[in-house]
Amino acid sequence: MTKNLNAKKLSLIALCAIILLVIPILLGDYHVHVINQIGIFIILVTSLNLILGYTGQLSFAHIGLFAIGAYTSSILMMTYNVPFLLSLLLSMVASAFFGLLVGLIALRFTTHFFAIVTLAFGEIIRLIIYNMPDLTGGPNGIYNIPFPPNVFGLDFSQRSHFYYIILIGAVATVLFVKYMIGTRTGKAMIAVRENETFAQFIGINTWKVKMISFTLSAALAGFAGSIYAHYNSYISPYSFTMMESVTLLLMVIIGGVGTIFGPILGAAFLITLPELLRDVNEWRLVIFGALLVLTIMFMPKGLLGLFKSIQEKVKSSKKPVSNIDSGLGEEERKSVGS
Amino acid sequence: MLNIQDLCVNYEKNQVIKGISMEVKEGEIVTLIGANGAGKTTLLRTISGIKSSSSGSIEFMGNPIHKMPSHKIVDLGIGHIPEGRRVFPEMTVKENLEMGAYRRKDSKEMKKELDHIFELFPRLKERISQRAGTLSGGEQQMLAIGRAIMLRPKVYLFDEPSLGIAPLVIAEIAQMIKRLNEEEGATILLVEQNANLALKLSHRAYILETGKISLEGPSEELANDDRVQKIYLGYE
C-alpha cells in the first residue's frame, strides 16, 4: 500500500518536473513572462511565509529587504564588476544583515506593534533608496542591469531561458523552507506561533528563534530581490512601495498561511488575476480588498485549505467507513469533557 | 531546594506579591492555597522567569535564578505546568510531547521518555497522532503533565491542575502527582484553589492572601485550623 503510494507520489513529482521543464518551450513569451514573475514572487512570498506563517510574526518589512537584495546585486555587478553568482550571494548577505538589524529592534515588540515597526522600516528603506541618487539612481532607479552570463548555451537575456534560473531558485527556496520547519529550530518557530508564552514555559528562547527566522527570511527576500533585478533589468523605488507589501501579505493569506504550497498558490493567483483583469485595472485594489475579506471570512485556511476540504469531502463520500473511527472519538470526548 | 526570600513582584505600579519568603525542600509536596487574585500564578511565573521580580531573591539548589531567562531555568530542572491545561492545539499529541523535550538534544533518551509517559497515561498513547486541540479537558491536562515529564525536571510547578476538569479525572491527576513524588522522587510545588484536594495531597502548605503569606505549616495541621476550615474548606 505505502509502496504503491510512494510510486504514485514519485510519478506525480516526475510529471510536474517534466511539465515545469517544458513550459518555456510550449508557451509564448508573454505567458512565460507572467510565469517568471510568479516564480520570483513564490521565492519572496515563501520567505515571508517563514516568518509570518510559521513563526507567527506579521512583517511588512519584506518589501524593503527585497529592495535591498535587488539594489545590492545591481550595484555590485554594475559599479564594481562583481560576477553574477557572487552578487547574488552578497545580496543575500546584505539583506540578512539588514534583516538582523531590523529584527534586533522590531522583535522587541510583539503582535501588532511588531507589524507597525516593520511597516516603518519597510518605508524607511524605500525612502533611503529614494534619497541616495548617487548610489541608487534615486527616483529614476537603475537601468540596464546586466543579465547573468550565458551558460550551457542558455542566453539569459531571453525570458524563456531566464525561466530556468527562476525555476531552480523557487524550487530551492521552497525545499529549504520545507527542510527548515522540520528541524528542531523550525518546530520551535511553530511553537512560538501557536503560543509564545507557552513556548517560554517549555524552555524555548523565543527571542532567539524569532531572530533566526527573521534573518533567514530576510536572506531569502534578498535572494528574490537579486533575481528580480537581473530579470527585469530595471528597478526603481516605485517597485517597492507599501502597497506591494500588502500584496505580498495577501498572497500568503489567500494562498494559505503556514503551508508549503499556500504561497505558491497565492503568488500564482494574485499575479494571474490582474493579468486577466487588465480591462478593469483601476478596480484592482478594490478586488484585492474584497478577496481578502472573503478569504478571512469564508476560507481562513486560504485556497489550499479550500482544496483540502473539498478533497476530504470527496474522499469521505467515497469511503464512509473511515469516518466511524473519528465519530466515536467525538462522542467519547463529549462524555469525558462534561 | 527552592528558596524564596522577601520576593516582591509588580505589575506596573501595582504590587501583587508583597515580600514573600518560602521554602520547598527536596522530595516534598508543598501547596500554595489562596483565593483569586492572591498572587499564586504570579509567584509561579516569577519562579520560572516568565515574569520578572522587582526585589528579593529566588534560589534553586544554591543558584540565584531570579535574574535568569526562562529557558536557562528550564535547563536547571524546573518544570512548569501552567494553568488552563496549555498544549499546542494544532500539533499532535506526539509532537506536543516532543516539544516538551525541546531543551534535550539526545533523541534516544527521548524515545525512552515517550514510552514512560505512555505507560503513565495509556490514554495518551491511544490518541498519539490526534491533534491536541481535539482532546478532552482531562486528556489535555494529562498531555500538559506528560510534556513536563519529558524533561525530567527536579521540581514541578503545578498551576491549578484541577481547574475545569471532571471530578473523576481530577482524582486521576492527583494520583499522578503523588506518584511523581513517591516513585520518582520529584519535588512539587502545587498551586490550587481546591484547598481540600491540595491539603490532602501535600506535606506542607502556605496560605497566600493578597500577596502575603498569612499562614504556613504542615498540611494536616492547617486542615484542622479553624480559620482555614471556615474560609478555604467551606466548613460551617
Q: For B45-96, what is each residue's pLDDT tens digit?
A: 999 998 889 999 999 998 899 889 999 999 999 999 988 878 888 889 998 9
- Based on the fold, state whether residues A291 and A318 are members of the same structural domain: no
Q: Tell me whether A333 touches chain B (CB under 8 Å).
A: yes
Residues of chain A in contact with residue B95, where contact means CB-CB under 8 angstroms, are 187
Per CB-CB distance under 8 Å, the chain B contacts of A53 are none
Average the pLDDT over A226-235 and give the result: 92
Does residue A149 share a domain with residue A49?
A: yes
* A160 confidence band (pLDDT: 50, 70, 90): confident
Report yes or no: B135 and B107 within 8 Å, Cβ to Cβ: no
Q: Worst-scoring range by mean pLDDT, A20-34, A119-133, B100-114?
A: B100-114
Q: Which residues of A62-100 are buried (b: 16+ CB within 10 A; e: fewer)?
A: bbbbbbbbbbbbbbbbeeeebebeebbbbbbebbbbbbe
CA-to-CA distance for B25 and B31, rounded, in angstroms? 12
Decide if A194 and B130 are in contact by the 8 Å CB cutoff: no
The residue in chain A having the minimum alpha-carbon distance to the alpha carbon of residue B48 is A201
**Residue A140 — pLDDT band, cuts 50, 70, 90?**
confident
Tell whether A114 is covered by a domain. Answer: yes
**Cross-chain Cβ contact B74/A191 below 8 Å:** no
pLDDT of B177 over the 50 cut: yes
Confidence grade of residue A329 (pLDDT, cut at 50, 70, 90) = very low
Q: Looking at residue A44, what is its pLDDT?
A: 94
CB contact under 8 A, A205 and B71: yes
- A142 and A65 within one domain: yes
**Integer Cα distance of A2 and A200 in angstroms:** 38
Residues of B in contact with A259 (CB under 8 A): none
Lowest mean pLDDT among A103-117, A280-294, B68-82, B213-227: A280-294
Burial (Cβ within 10 Å: 0-12, 13-18, ≥19) of residue B224: exposed
How does residue A334 score in pLDDT terms, banded at 50, 70 and 90?
very low
Under CATH, what is the fold of the domain B2-24+37-192+205-218? Rossmann fold (3.40.50)
Q: Which one of A203, A333, A337 has the shortest CB-CB distance to B103?
A: A203
Sign of CA dihedral A16, A18, A21, A24: negative
Task: Give the whole-angstrom CA distance, residue A203 versus residue A187.
Answer: 13
Assess contact for B193 and B163: CB atoms under 8 A: yes
Q: Is residue A5 part of a domain?
A: no
Q: What is the pTM of this model?
A: 0.83
Same domain membership, residue A47 and residue A192: yes
Nearest to A148 by CA among A77, A92, A221: A77
Are A312 and A242 part of one and the same domain? no
A201 and B86: CB-CB below 8 Å? yes
B103 touching chain A per CB within 8 A: yes
pLDDT at position A318, please? 65
Q: What is the pLDDT of residues A86-132, one digit of tens each?
A: 999 999 999 999 999 999 999 888 888 989 999 999 999 999 999 98
Examine the pLDDT at A209 and tell me if it is beyond 70: yes
- Kindly list the residues from chain A whose CB atom is less than 8 angstroms away from the CB atom of residue B166: 336-338
**In this predicted model, which residue has the larger pLDDT, B34 or A209?**
A209
Query: Tell me, what's the pLDDT at A169?
Result: 94
**For residue A64, is it within any domain?**
yes
Q: What is the DSSP secondary structure assignment for residue A187, as one 8-state letter?
A: H
Confidence of residue A70 (pLDDT cuts 50, 70, 90): very high
| Number of Cβ within a 10 Å radius of residue B217 | 14
Q: How far apart are the first and last CA of chain B?
A: 38
Q: A187 pLDDT exceeds 70?
A: yes
Q: Are residues A221 and A317 in the same domain?
A: no
Tell me the per-residue pLDDT of A4-15, one tens digit each, with 9 for 90 and over: 678 888 888 888
Q: In chain A, which residues have their Cβ closer than 8 Å to the Cβ of B99?
A: 187-188, 191, 202
Chain A to chain B Cβ contacts (< 8 Å): 68
Domain boundaries, chain B: 2-24+37-192+205-218
* Number of domains chain A is built from: 2
Q: What is the pLDDT of residue A2?
A: 56
| Pairwise CA distance, residues B234 & B217, whole Å | 19
- Report percent pLDDT > 90 for chain A: 39
Q: Hey, is the C-beta of A327 within 8 angstroms of any chain B C-beta?
A: no
Task: Name the closest residue on chain B to residue A197, using Cα atoms.
Answer: B50
Average pLDDT for chain A: 85
pLDDT at A75 over 70: yes
CA distance B17 to B177: 26
In one-letter notation, the amino acid at residue A280 is V
Mean pLDDT of B147-165: 89
Q: Is the pLDDT of residue B16 over 50?
A: yes
C-alpha torsion A225→A226→A228→A230, nearest 10: 160
**Can you tell me whether residue A261 is helix, strand or coil?**
coil
- At A222, phi and psi to the nearest 5? -65, -40
* Same domain? A328 vs A205: no
Q: How far is CA A17 from CA A29, A41, A101, A199, in A?
A: 20, 19, 38, 39
Same domain membership, residue A239 and residue A103: yes
The span from the CA of A174 to the CA of A262, in Å, is 11
* Residue A147: closest CA among A133, A129, A160, A134: A160
Q: Considering only the beta carbons, identify the residue of A204, A329, A337 that sits closest to B102.
A: A204
CATH number at residue A212: 1.10.3470
**By the CB < 8 Å criterion, does A203 face chain B?**
yes
Q: pLDDT-based confidence at A218, cuts 50/70/90?
A: very high
Name the residue with cell 513536563.
Answer: B148
Does one domain contain both A173 and A210? yes
Rounded Cα distance between B105 and A104, Å, is 27
Contact A268, A38 (CB under 8 A): yes
Tell me what pLDDT residue A338 has.
33
Tell me which residue range forms the domain holding A212: 14-277+284-300
Q: CB within 8 A of B16, min separation 6: which ones?
A: B9, B10, B39, B42, B211
- Clarify whether residues A330 and A195 are in a common domain: no
Question: What's the confidence (pLDDT) of residue A319?
Answer: 56
C-alpha to C-alpha distance for A206 and A240, rounded to whole angstroms = 30
DSSP secondary structure, A104-130, as one string? HHHTTS-HHHHHHHHHHHHHHHHHHHH
Contacts with B138 from chain A: Cβ below 8 Å: 336-337
The confidence score (pLDDT) of residue B44 equals 92
Cα gap A336→B7, rounded to integer Å: 40
Residue B112 pLDDT = 84
Do residue A290 and residue A173 come from a single domain?
Answer: yes
Complex prediction ipTM: 0.81
Instruction: Give the pLDDT of residue A64.
Output: 93
| Together in a domain, A106 and A129 | yes
- pLDDT value of position A231: 93
Partners of residue A195 in chain B, C-beta under 8 Å: 86, 88
